[in-house]
Structures are given as C-alpha cells and as structure tokens.
Structure 1
C-alpha cells in the first residue's frame, strides 16, 4: 500500500524533481523560453517543480510561472493548500516589478514631519 502525501514548501526533505541544469536554464530563460523548456516535463513533475521553486525566495516568481503550466487538480494533489494557492497566483495578471526604483517622488523621514508656524 502506498501512501500519497502532499508536498509542503517548508518540507526539508523536499528535493528538486528535475536536474540542476534544467533549473539553471529555467532561471535564465525568458517566459517563452521557459515554456519551451517545460514542454517535455510531465505535468506531475512540473507541479512538484513549481512547489520547489516557489518555496525559495530567489525562485518564487519562476515557481508561479511553472505553476501556470499545470492544471489546478494536479497542483492540489501535489501540494494541497499550497498547490491551490499556486494555481490562483499563476492565473493572476502579471505585474511588472520595479526593483530599485522609487515611485511617487516623495521622501520618507523616520524623524517625522516638521511643521513651521
């Protein structure tokens, strides 16, 4: 009798389900290239890969991208609540990030504002 168990992003025993070179190519690939790389990987493996990538801060966004190639049932079977959340995240519109840039032009002061009478 085999016992199915869902994966968790904080499971220390969770190992990457694909070869390290595949992960390296995914990290370097643009979105279209990533889809091409994922085509030959079975959906259940892609779901495990999505969870594995999502659980690491530096590959979080790539995990969401991989999850977008999986259906909701596969993600839920693979990772339960986390898989469900990944499915929902992967179906949201992508928002461009602006790392290292400031918006609004306003300044933040930790000392509070000065009022002049």
Structure 2
C-alpha cells in the first residue's frame, strides 16, 4: 500500500487493485472489515480517490464514514471536508455492483453532426462563379 500524501495529488490509487476490487464487490456486511484493514491515513486517501470517480461514489462515502474529519481534511482540504459531511448524511450503505442496479447507458441514435460532402461543395462554388 502506498501511504504517501503524493498519492492523492498524483491521482494514484493508494491501495492495491486487488483490495480496491474486493471493496467494490463486497457486501454491505463484509465491507467494514476490508475498510478496517487499511491504515487511517491511507483510508482517507482512498476515500478521496474513489470520490473523484463517479462509479465509486457510494464506495467513497462508505470509506469516508470510517475516517475522521481531520484525516480527510489533511488529505483533501475542502473536498475532504465536504466528503466527511456527505458520508455522515449518507442514507444508503454501499451496494455491490450488479447489473440491475447500474444506471442505464444511453447512446445517441442520430448523427452528432452532418457535413456537406466536399465534392458537392466544390460543384456549388463553381456554379456560383460561372455566369448564367
């Protein structure tokens, strides 16, 4: 585990990928044990790391709820203070990722933009230059 304060600033996950994955998949009963296995300062960095990723917000709140405000503010400043307040107001515990609980992804069915083909543009310009 990385315990340096640079992990937050360099946007590096402060724990191993295996542990982060286990936390992400953990049930609401197993998650507190995994969180408790991480040192308090690293836990604060991990909470802020997860908070910066929208798909990990619920996990960030669960982790932050086990942190002190002092640790979160020391690592994240105002964001840490905000995360502390949000974690105390959170009503739902972290739910494991399941297909039925994911937000739906919507894709556009129309083209993002339309372009006039270059050949047609050249013909129109030539027609405008030729006197009728």
TM-score of the two chains, using structure 1 as the length reference: 0.70
Matches within 5 A, 1:76-87: 76-87=73-84
List runs of 5+ in structure 1 lacking aligned partners: 101-117
Q: What RMSD, in angstroms, separates the aligned Cα atoms of the two structures?
A: 2.4
Pair 40,6 (structure 1): closer, same or farther in 2 beyond 3 Å: closer
Which of the two has higher C-alpha Rg? 2
- Give, in angstroms, the shift of residue 93 of structure 1: 4.1
More helix as a share of residues: 2
Deviations 1:75-103 (A, max 9, x none): 00010001000000000141489x68xxx
User: How far apart, in 1, do the equivalents of 2:80 and 2:7 lie?
Assistant: 9
Pair 6,17 (structure 1): closer, same or farther in 2 beyond 3 Å: closer
1:35 to 32, 35, 42: 32
Q: Work out whether 1:61 is the aligned partner of 2:46.
A: no
Deviates more, 1:50-59 or 1:28-37: 28-37
Following TM superposition, the consecutive aligned residue runs of length 4 or more in structure 1 with deviations greater than 6 angstroms are none
- How many residues align? The count is 92
